[in-house]
Amino acid sequence: MSKEAPRDNLKGGAWLIADMSLNIWALSIVKWLGADYPATQVVFIRAVTGLALILPLIWRRRALFSQIEDLPIHLTRVALSVITLTASFFAISRVPLAVFTAVSFTRPVVTMLMAAVILSERIGPRRWGAAGVALLGVLIAANPRDVPWSVGLAALCLVVLTGSAAVIATRRLRAAPSIVMMTFYTAGLAICTAPLAAAAWAPVDPAHILPLLMVGAFSQVAQLCFLRAHYNGEAGFLSVLSYLSLVLSVGVGFAVFDERPSASFAVGALFVIGAALWVTLRPGAKPEGR
């Protein structure tokens, strides 16, 4: 990948929507499984499954691994991702899906702040305004204020911080081949969670083997989509567009878990969709600093 490759926000947005859709289904399976399995065990199975899927590609493109640049950033990204994914799988089975979504959606604003400070990306007033409108919509839709503090909520706060930092590390590695980044991520997850998973291993119900493998498959493909999204799109644009995941997640909640959206959700969702469209479909928009 070239460091000089131009940004293409529409292409990046398409990859991001694919990433969000796959991740929501993976998280929904984890939620359906409940708290029967330790989070580290689920992450380990996800990692091993994903690694098995990409092994042929790793072998085919093994020459790319002969000279790894920015190794400290790769390792930092792995560490942040291990914490984020484990905390996310831990929290999803312990808090309502709407609350999980509401707290998670403070991440785009945190990511935009980090991108502005660490990457010196220019985030224009239009995007800051859209982010604020979308965040307001999330709060209206999910209404998390009545939810008591819990260990699941604490885990979600950790997800916000480490997940946003992992996105910034990913953007710093934009020039790295996707297969190298996927290998570091997936192998890192497997290595870091293996001892913890072994110590807390719970017997797997035969009926749960396929769903657990699907978590790994969906998550691995989503990882590729995520990398392509952040290779093509700008952080400010993708951060606002990612609020559309609220609509996707509540849709899955309705279809799978019979969680019926309220009138406040409809109002909040309109805010979210409007904010995303505001920065996505603006005619004649410049590629930077909208």
Quick: pLDDT tens for 85-95: 888 888 887 77
Residue with tokens 């691995």: 220
**What pTM was estimated for this model as a whole?**
0.69
Under the banding of pLDDT at 50, 70 and 90, the label for residue 98 is: low
Distance CA 60, CA 55 (A): 9
Under the banding of pLDDT at 50, 70 and 90, the label for residue 288 is: very low
Got the DSSP string for 12-61? HHHHHHHHHHHHHHHHHHHHHHTTSS-HHHHHHHHHHHHHHHHHHHHHHT
Burial class of 189 by CB neighbour count within 10 A (0 to 12, 13 to 18, 19+)? buried
Instruction: Tell me what pLDDT residue 220 has.
Output: 85
Under the banding of pLDDT at 50, 70 and 90, the label for residue 115 is: confident
Q: Please, which residues have CB within 8 angstroms of residue 238's CB and are 6 or more apart in sequence?
A: 9, 12, 13, 16, 229, 230
Maximum distance among all alpha carbons in the chain?
A: 56
Q: What is the pLDDT of residues 116-141, one digit of tens each?
A: 777 777 777 877 787 788 778 777 76
Q: What is the pLDDT of residues 9-29, one digit of tens each?
A: 888 888 998 998 888 888 888
Distance CA 178, CA 183 (A): 9
Inter-residue contact 235 to 267 (CB < 8 Å): no
Distance CA 157, CA 149 (A): 11
